[in-house]
Amino acid sequence: MKVNTQELKFRAMKFGDWMLFIAKIGDRQCVEMRSVIHGMGMEWDYYARSLIADRCRIKVKTETGDDYMFFMSLDKFKKWLDDIDLDTVGLNVRNRVIFFKNNCVLRLRSFLAGGKVRKTA
C-alpha cells in the first residue's frame, strides 16, 4: 500500500448535512472517504478494510499522534458508490446511501469545476 506524506490542500464541500473533503493528489481529484462513509451512516471500521487494500493513504499529524486519511479518485468513487448493494445496508441508512448514489459525484464535479453547488433538500 502506498503511504504518501505530501502536503495536501483540502477543499470542503457542504453536501446535505455533511461536509466532504477533496484534495488533489498527483493529477487526480480525490475524495476523503471517512467523511463519505460517516455521512452515509455506515460503519468506518467495516469499510476501511476494503479501502486500505488499493486506495491512496495519506499520513497526517494530529493532536493525538499520527493518523491516516484515505482517499479515492472521483472515477473510482463513482464506481464504489454504484457497487454498494442496497440490500446489504441497514434500513436506517438506506435513504442516505441512495442520496449519495444519486447526487454526490455530479455535485463534486460541479464544485470542482467552479460551478455553484445548490443546497440540497
Domain count, the chain: 1
Q: What is residue 56's DSSP assignment?
A: E
Q: Beta partners for 58?
A: 4, 69
Residue 14 is part of which domain span? 3-112
Within a domain: residue 48? yes
H or E element in which residue 25 lies: strand 18-25
Within a domain: residue 60? yes
Within a domain: residue 118? no
Within a domain: residue 117? no
pTM (predicted TM-score): 0.77
| Whether the Cβ atoms of residue 108 and residue 20 lie closer than 8 Å to each other | yes
Per-residue confidence of the chain (121 residues) as pLDDT tens digits?
Answer: 344 545 667 888 998 888 998 888 888 888 999 899 999 988 888 777 777 655 577 777 778 878 778 888 888 888 889 999 999 888 889 999 999 999 998 888 888 888 655 554 4
